[in-house]
Amino acid sequence: MIRGVRGATTVKKNTEEQIVSSTKRLLEKMIKENNISSEKVSHIWFTVTEDLDAAFPAKATRLIDGWQFVPVMCAREIPVPDSLPLCIRVMMTAETEAVQQEVNHVYLNDAVSLRPDLELTKRKGTR
């Protein structure tokens, strides 16, 4: 079955180093928590809030061994008033045997506020 695996994180500053390193950490956690190999991934879609323009978060994918050929795309989030700033969101589409309730969506840093329902039900510490 093809499933979407969601993730999000925030950075403190709009710098290439923070955007790429935070995105890499997020991707690695999404991969680990869902036991995903690059060969099972159809594509990864990244979005960023309007206050992030120092780097493409998709660059982080190329830094993970074996993930260089996964198709990636970046876009801007809709600028909703009062939305979470300095935020990177990810939608990874992958083949998995997991049912929807077993998919581990990963939210790090201030992005945990985006899905408090998942934070409370999963309780794995550094989501």
What ranges do the domains of the chain cover?
A: 2-122
Q: Which of 3, 28, 33, 74 is catalytic?
A: 74
The 10s digit of each residue's pLDDT in 7-28 is: 999 999 999 999 999 999 999 9
Give every CB contact of residue 24 below 8 A, 6+ residues apart in sequence: 60, 63, 64
Q: What is the pTM of this model?
A: 0.90
The 10s digit of each residue's pLDDT in 35-56 is: 999 999 999 999 999 999 999 9
The 10s digit of each residue's pLDDT in 98-124 is: 999 899 999 999 999 888 777 544 544
Contact 86, 14 (CB under 8 A): yes
User: Annotated catalytic, 74?
Assistant: yes
HSE of 29, CA atoms in CB hemisphere, 13 A: 21
Run of H or E residues at 76: strand 72-76
User: Annotated catalytic, 115?
Assistant: yes
User: Annotated catalytic, 62?
Assistant: yes
Give every CB contact of residue 109 below 8 A, 6+ residues apart in sequence: 9, 10, 11, 22
Best CATH choice for the domain 2-122 from the list 3.40.50.1460, 3.30.70.20, 3.30.1330.40, 3.40.800.10: 3.30.1330.40
User: Annotated catalytic, 127?
Assistant: no
Average pLDDT value over all residues in the chain: 92
Q: Which of 6, 25, 33, 119 is catalytic?
A: 6
